[in-house]
Amino acid sequence: MKYAIDLSERQSQRALNHALQSHAQVVMELTGESNAMTGQFVLGDESILAISLTRPVSPATGGLVGRYVDVQVFADQRYFFTSYVIEDDGGLVEPNQIAIRRPQTIQVLQRRRFWRARVAPSSTVSLSWKSNGAVEERCATLLNLSAEGLACRAPRADVDGLCVGDAVDLRFEIPDGPAPFELTGVVCNKTPGVDATIILGLQFRVSPAHDEATAAQNTLKAWLYQRDSAAVGPEVGV
């Protein structure tokens, strides 16, 4: 079950600032159309949000000026707002980027199963996997976390060898949370990031027969629910 919460202007701008700082993933759809444009926030100011596109669009971005777009942002939580494409007169936008008007307020979208934690910018996750018989170990920046999985960002050179479907051993801590978590995840998606990085989406893979992993996931679920339910306001839609 999905629902949306209207954020105040102050909450909205704080969420957008966090999304900009973390180069959050963005999915945009032209209002009335089903073709999606995907990308990442690269920069912004009080009136403009600039998005680096990771999927080509047609027509060219210049031909989209004035068109309305429905925008979903995947940061510490999932946000939604409607905006429109603008022409960049300040020289902020580069080729294959698009500028949209920064909204005053946005909504946060949630699903009951997917409570997400806001993680500190310094939060990291340790990745370990087997490659050609050898064990590879890397460290990535933890972007967001739910009871079902996580997203992290790492240098492209560190994780370029990982493929969708690969199993990865994960170890991470959460601010003010229980002891470190050790779980196995499966790579669900790889999204090119800025500055030669890759954003990995991983879904936890927990077998009912694996008591320690099951207990760890249940502890994570309980902590996320307790933390986020205290911050949830009135529902405005289902």
Q: What is the DSSP letter of 182?
A: E
Query: Between 146 and 152, whose confidence is greater?
Result: 152
pLDDT attached to residue 236: 33
CATH of 2-111, one of 1.20.120.50, 3.40.50.1820, 2.30.110.10, 2.40.50.140: 2.30.110.10
Element (H or E) spanning 104, and its range?
none
Give the residue-averaged pLDDT of 156-175.
89
Question: Residue 226 has which token pair?
Answer: 């307790």
pLDDT, mean over the chain: 80
pTM here is: 0.49
pLDDT attached to residue 195: 81
Give pLDDT tens digits for 114-133.
Answer: 445 556 666 899 999 998 88
Torsion of CA 14, 20, 21, 22, to 10 degrees: 110
**Dihedral sign (CA 51, 54, 62, 72):** negative
User: DSSP 3-state assignment of 61?
Assistant: helix
* Cα–Cα dist 97/82, whole Å: 18
Q: CATH assignment of 117-228? A: 2.40.10.220
- In the chain, % helix, strand, coil (3-state, to 5) comes to 15, 45, 40
Inform me whether the pLDDT recorded for 111 exceeds 70. no
Give pLDDT tens digits for 1-52.
Answer: 345 788 899 999 999 999 998 888 888 888 666 667 888 899 888 999 999 8
Least confident of 116-120, 121-125, 203-207, 212-216: 116-120
pLDDT attached to residue 55: 60
pLDDT attached to residue 148: 84
Q: Is 43 exposed, middle or buried (0-12, 13-18, 19+ CB in 10 A)?
A: middle
Going from N- to C-terminal start, the domains of the chain cover: 2-111, 117-228
